[in-house]
Amino acid sequence: MCPPTFFDVRYAINPWMHPEVPVDRERALAQWSALVAAYERAGHRVDRLDPVPGLPDMVFAANGATVVDGRTLLARFATRQRAAEAAAHRAWHERFGVLYGGLEGPRLAEPVAVNEAEGDFAVLSSVVLAGHGFRTSPDAHAELAALTGREVVGLELVDPRFYHLDVALAVLDADTDAVAYFPAAFSPASQAVLAERFPDAVVATAEDALAFGLNAVGDGRNVFLPPGAPHLRAELEVRGFVCVEIDTSELLLGGGSVKCCTQEIRPTPARATAAHEGDPR
């Protein structure tokens, strides 16, 4: 995670960004810090990525890399405004990837195709769901599959308000392939794929999705999400999840919430314990 030290809205690269609306950076930092604290109370470790002046969107760390079984596919951003963020993520993974890499050392792949990492890659135990249509290229799906050996299933996004997969679909429990999603964000063909593969999924409403309720992080027990998605919260609680609501209203001015702020590190099984016990910062 990267603190919003330099967070601002100076340009509009998604429908949620309005440069004429001022940003309260102190409030953004307080909200981000509350998310970090919630993760740590739940037993998760949070490593910090140093922010870089002039890169106001670095707080949205999910877009910098995808780590699966200790193998890392770096991002190649679709927009010139965020392109320089890739170098900071590369440097972090080059330095600390050994903590969670395979026994032969970390596997770090430079992308050829455009991908915005966990913005468009949702990692489950049996499959990686991969968004395309606005940011990530379908060619990047094959790159991640080749690097990780995982099945990667493409899903087409059709509503520009849901420009990344992680604002249209949430992983609730990667081990059991439990997900929640908003059908109208996807093409009819992709809706059919989701309905077939995830018949027990939580189906979110438009209210849930527009409140960024699906920009959530689930660990199998807890689901960390912003407020404003009452139907989604009720459905999650019926299924036994503990909902941890975090106000991210200031960060939403940049078009991101809980998941956008969170790059999840998935080590190889042999390194999982060591990576958890180590401290790179």
Angle at 141 between CA 139 and CA 146, to 5 degrees: 100
- Choosing from 2, 243, 260, 261, the catalytic residue is 260
Q: What residues have CB less than 8 Å from 71, skipping those under 6 apart?
A: 101, 102, 106, 107, 109, 147, 148
**What 8-state DSSP symbol labels residue 217?**
E
Whether residue 164 lies in the annotated active site? yes
- Choosing from 164, 231, 243, 261, the catalytic residue is 164
Residue ranges of alpha helices (H) inside the chain are: 25-41, 85-96, 138-148, 188-197, 206-210, 230-238, 269-277
Whether residue 260 lies in the annotated active site? yes
Q: What residues have CB less than 8 Å from 279, skipping those under 6 apart?
A: none
**What 8-state DSSP symbol labels residue 46?**
-
Among candidate residues 241, 244, 248, the one with its CA nearest the CA of residue 224: 244
CA atoms within 13 A on the CB side of 12: 9
- How far is 3 from 205, CA to CA, in rounded Å? 31
The catalytic residues are 164, 260
